[in-house]
Amino acid sequence: MITAGYRLAKANAPFCKNKWRNPGWVLHSYQQYPDRDTARAAFDFPLPVAIAALVEGGPADQAGLRTGESFSDLPGGIWWGADPVRHKPSFALVDIVNIRVNALFDGGQAVGLLVRGKPGEAERRVTIEPPAICASYFIISSNGQDDAGADGQYVRVSAALAQYTPDADEFAAIVAHELAHNILEHRKRLDAMNVQRGIGRMFGKSKKAFLQTEMEADQLSVWLMVNAGYDPAAAVRFWQRRGPDKDKGLFSDGTHMGWRDRIKILQAEIEHIQTLNQNRLPHEPPLLAKM
């Protein structure tokens, strides 16, 4: 997940209005798991928040950081916070550390971090200087559902959907669609329109607004894929497989187009891309040129 997300966000950075300096890691905390004792035993957290995954060859990987390591200090000190919901999964600690680290990177300079690994290992300092890429966190959720989503900051793909999509290019198509929502600021637009959530999103202007954002995300997604070196036809293959299989499941709530219509939209964008000089990447997506 982090590799596909980082690759898409980095390749399309020239066209993103909102960027941040992403180090190429995913953080996690034992508090985000339903069974915290099992999570602690499985991951051996040196501190409450640790590195869960790294982008191979990404800034954090190149700086020598390793999965399982924790930040033992941040400038101004570090506070792990309380545990406001002791019996429910919570991402609060991860959000706290992400916010603090992002603030450090905002300065545009190299950042030194003190990290701690397994018990008995000495603390060490690493220096990291990540580039600015399209702003989004990328996570796999274990909510038991078969879906994906984006909220303006996060791009989320469920574990069930990830397992359904082992092909790297098809998986990138899912991530690209959700990243497109964040790049196009669809959550902010829908909020400004006061669209209905819940059952209300399936009617009237709310339904029309949701359908428009889904169409735009499909249109943009294949451009993001091409710029990142993925096969855009994988998005078509995904829906050719997913549509008949889950016609009344994912994306069938009235706020998404039917899978056959989605394929037509994707194919039209792919044909447009094929008329361009493929040796001159990245291509500026038409939707972003209007922003």
- The percent of residues above 70 in pLDDT, for the chain, comes to 90
pLDDT for the residue 145 = 83
pLDDT for the residue 249 = 46
**What pTM value is reported for the model?**
0.89
The stretch 94-100 carries a mean pLDDT of 86
Answer yes or no: are the C-beta atoms of 116 and 77 closer than 8 Å: no
Tokens of 183: 């790049």
Q: Is the pLDDT of residue 273 over 80?
A: yes
CATH of range 23-130; options 3.30.470.20, 2.40.10.10, 2.30.42.10, 2.40.30.10: 2.30.42.10
Cα(86)–Cα(42) distance, rounded to whole angstroms? 19
Helix (H, G, I), strand (E, B) or coil at 19: strand
Structure confidence at residue 73 as a pLDDT band (50, 70, 90): confident
Instruction: Report the greatest alpha carbon distance in the chain.
Output: 61
Supply φ then ψ for residue 136, to 5 degrees: -170, 145
Q: Is the pLDDT of residue 203 over 90?
A: no
What is the residue whose two structure tokens read 């989320």? Answer: 156
> Which has the higher per-residue pLDDT, 40 or 135?
135
The stretch 144-171 carries a mean pLDDT of 93
Cα 227 to the chain's mean position, in Å? 17
Reported for 116-122, long-range contacts at CB under 8 A and 24+ positions apart, including other chains, are 116/46, 116/47, 116/69, 116/70, 116/71, 116/72, 117/46, 117/66, 117/68, 117/69, 117/70, 118/44, 118/46, 118/68, 119/46
Structure confidence at residue 78 as a pLDDT band (50, 70, 90): low
Domain boundaries, the chain: 23-130, 167-289
Supply φ then ψ for residue 290, to 5 degrees: -85, -15
pLDDT for the residue 277 = 86
Structure confidence at residue 250 as a pLDDT band (50, 70, 90): very low
Q: Is the pLDDT of residue 84 over 90?
A: no
Question: pLDDT for 113-133, tens place per residue?
Answer: 999 988 788 899 999 999 999
Structure confidence at residue 195 as a pLDDT band (50, 70, 90): confident
pLDDT for the residue 251 = 46
Cα(5)–Cα(134) distance, rounded to whole angstroms? 10
Which pairing describes strands 111-116 and 124-128: parallel, antiparallel, or unpaired? antiparallel
Mean pLDDT of the chain: 88
Tokens of 67: 């999965």
Please give the sequence-ordered ranges of beta strands (E in DSSP) within the chain, or none if there are none: 19-21, 25-29, 49-54, 70-73, 111-116, 124-128, 132-134, 137-141, 148-150, 154-158
The stretch 76-95 carries a mean pLDDT of 71
The stretch 149-154 carries a mean pLDDT of 94
Structure confidence at residue 44 as a pLDDT band (50, 70, 90): confident
Per DSSP, what are the bridge partners of residue 25? Answer: 54
Contacts of 27 (CB under 8 A, 6+ apart): 49, 50, 51, 52, 94, 97, 98
pLDDT for the residue 161 = 95
